[in-house]
Structure 1
Amino acid sequence: MAGQTPPTMQDVQSAPAEVALSIDRVGVKHLMLPLVVRDRAQGVQHTVARVDLGVDLPAAFKGTHMSRFVEALENWKEELDYHSFKALLTDIRQRLSARKAYVVFRFPYFLKQASPKSGSPGWMSYECTLTGEMAGETMVFTLAVDVPAMTVCPCSLAISDQGAHSQRAMVRVMARFTGFLWLEDLIEIAEASASSPVYTLLKREDEKHVTESAFAKPTFVEDVVRGAAQRLDRHPQVNWYRVEVESFESIHAHSAFASIEKTK
């Protein structure tokens, strides 16, 4: 009725928790967001990100305020760089009165690829992840990319009179770094470490070249992960990395894998 004071809405999230345990991360997942990332050849490219946002929650509180995560994205300017990522982490931590904030962006990154002999163009898509963590004023950023590649088994090639088994592998490169790190650098490191890159479009002369060059460079998963680690060791901006290689074996009912992690 007119003149009456509306009832005060109860803040249930700030009430005491029935079970007084701290939560490491609580938040929202799979928000879709337009994204602009830097492209070494074109300057920038537009893509779409799947975003996870989270904070820590002290034992005293029943819940967090989920709507505030979405509100934080209202200030997002679409372009992904150090300053925008830091601003988003800072905003989330302040809005949620949290000690720690977490942000994960997952997005496809596209490169125009030319076939090795015919030069036929095709778009390759690489799944990328940028993770940011902020505790106080300390921030940690990790850039990761999944790169498909081809491996030819050295053992199979050595013991067979004709041929050898070959298969697609996935090389996942994760890196922490100083300054700016191109996604293209990580993609090139992964592809150079395998028997051969894989391609979107291949003509007959391309298939011949890819097959022959791959069989001239047989690699175990151990070879691929060591080669990638060696190249990351030499990269001047990378100060931590983890490389994981999974080979989807064509004649075995299992995958083979290897990983190396190092702080430089």
Structure 2
Amino acid sequence: MSAPTSPQRLLPDIASEAQAGHAGALDGVGMQRIEMPVLLLGADGHAQRVSARVDAFVNLAREDARGIHMSRLYLHLDRHLSAEPLTPASLRRLLRDFLDSHAALADRAWVRVRYDHLARRAALASAHSGWRAYPVELRASLHGGEFMLELGLEVQYSSTCPASAALARQLIQDRFAADFDGHGPLQRDAVLAWLGRADGIVATPHSQRSAATLRLRLAPGFELPVEDLIDRVERALQTPVQTAVKREDEQAFALANGQNLMFCEDAARRIRGVLAADERIADFWLRAEHYESLHPHDAVAIATKGVPGGYAAS
């Protein structure tokens, strides 16, 4: 004889209870740093899965509601992000589901997705290549039917100080004048030998690893141009950090630095020119930060597109 089955118990739902004693609307309620894989479309059109950290929020517009349904946010994230590639359209659908599942509670939703974009980079001179990981942050919001998408990127590069280069050249001139004073007509072979000596080139300019941080408000009607934008910024700077490096690559890198001397102001203007000419970018904010080797503080330049009501410098 089988045991009788008990009826399914209703589980308490405390979050849905009204709380008059501490009532009030809240600007945002949700979860941060959710571990979640996301699908990305590669340059070849194939989807690849990468690890991400996701923040998911809605506002709590109903003043007497105690809380939102966080499990619903999580389940929507899991369903959307694991099933379809990350695109502006898929993010909009995700946020629409956030709001539909909180129809009586919220009228605004947003999500932030952070991951590393992996790109294969060829060496400058040798036949080798290696991987670079570029930090990416996507922030999408939906409010009153208005969808907004912001793309954040970081690109690392090398910067060689123009002032330091000029000072180094002066010291080299002084040493050359001292070493060849009174020697009569200069001989080509003697000058070549001097140029190859460590005590001839007595000074070198200082260089440092630098970073360009970008916040881009994307115009509607375009997909996510992550790798293309990274490529454009690196081409403008001419000195992106490298992956696989043999001696010939290091020499080519030294040449690129010598031909692209730049203050942080120069770097910011180069990047600004690229972003301002891109129709996919409705607004932008950028920071060129040079981690100085001369002193312990950093040199920084900031630029914006100058859209009324858009990004501000601070």
Same fold (TM over 0.5): yes
Contact preservation (8 Å) 1:173, 1:190: no
Q: Structure 2: which amino acid aligns with 1:205?
A: E
Secondary structure class of the residue paired with 2:305: strand
| Structure 1 residues 195 and 254: alpha-carbon distance in aligned structure 2, compared to 1, 3 A threshold | farther
Counterpart among 16, 34, 38 of residue 35 in structure 1: 38
2:178 paired residue number: none
Output the CA distance in 2 between the equivalents of 1:180 and 1:10: 40
Residue 248 of structure 1: how far off its partner (Å): 1.3
Counterpart among 18, 30, 42 of residue 15 in structure 1: 18
Q: Structure 2: which amino acid aligns with 1:96?
A: H
Residue 151 of structure 1: how far off its partner (Å): 0.7
2:305 paired residue number: 262
* Match status 1:177 vs 2:183: no
Q: Structure 2: which amino acid aligns with 1:188?
A: D
2:239 paired residue number: 196
* Match status 1:84 vs 2:97: no
| Structure 1 residues 246 and 19: alpha-carbon distance in aligned structure 2, compared to 1, 3 A threshold | farther
Contact preservation (8 Å) 2:292, 2:299: yes
Q: Which moved more, 1:177-186 or 1:138-147?
A: 177-186
2:184 paired residue number: none
Output the CA distance in 1 between the equivalents of 2:241 and 2:85: 29
TM-score normalised according to structure 2 size: 0.77
Q: 1:204-245: per-residue Cα shift (whole Å, max 9, x none)?
A: 011011012112211111111111111111112221111122
Q: Please list, as runs of the form range in 1=range in 2, the aligned pairs for 1:1-264 lying within 5 A after superposition.
A: 9-16=12-19, 18-41=21-44, 43-58=46-61, 59-76=63-80, 77-97=83-103, 98-160=106-168, 161=171, 162-175=203-216, 176-178=218-220, 179-194=222-237, 196-262=239-305
Q: 1:66-102: per-residue Cα shift (whole Å, max 9, x none)?
A: 2121121242114111221111110111212311101
| Structure 1 residues 119 and 68: alpha-carbon distance in aligned structure 2, compared to 1, 3 A threshold | same
Q: Structure 2: which amino acid aligns with 1:170?
A: A
Contact preservation (8 Å) 1:51, 1:106: yes
Q: Which moved more, 1:121-130 or 1:72-81?
A: 72-81
Greater CA radius of gyration, 1 or 2? 2
Structure with the bigger percentage of strand? 1
Output the CA distance in 2 between the equivalents of 1:127 and 1:75: 24
| Structure 1 residues 217 and 7: alpha-carbon distance in aligned structure 2, compared to 1, 3 A threshold | closer
Residue 259 of structure 1: how far off its partner (Å): 1.6
Output the CA distance in 2 between the equivalents of 1:155 and 1:19: 61
Contact preservation (8 Å) 1:14, 1:62: yes
Q: Which runs of 5+ in 2 are unaligned?
A: 172-202, 308-314
Q: Structure 2: which amino acid aligns with 1:71?
A: L
Secondary structure class of the residue paired with 1:249: coil
Q: Which moved more, 1:149-158 or 1:33-42?
A: 33-42
Secondary structure class of the residue paired with 1:85: helix
Contact preservation (8 Å) 2:95, 2:142: yes
| Structure 1 residues 207 and 60: alpha-carbon distance in aligned structure 2, compared to 1, 3 A threshold | same
Output the CA distance in 1 between the equivalents of 2:11 and 2:114: 40
Contact preservation (8 Å) 1:195, 1:218: no
Residue 44 of structure 1: how far off its partner (Å): 3.5
Residue 6 of structure 1: how far off its partner (Å): 5.1
Sequence identity of aligned pairs in percent?
A: 28
Output the CA distance in 2 between the equivalents of 1:56 and 1:62: 12
Contact preservation (8 Å) 2:88, 2:224: no
Q: 1:236-257: per-residue Cα shift (whole Å, max 9, x none)?
A: 2221111122211122111222
Contact preservation (8 Å) 1:25, 1:54: yes
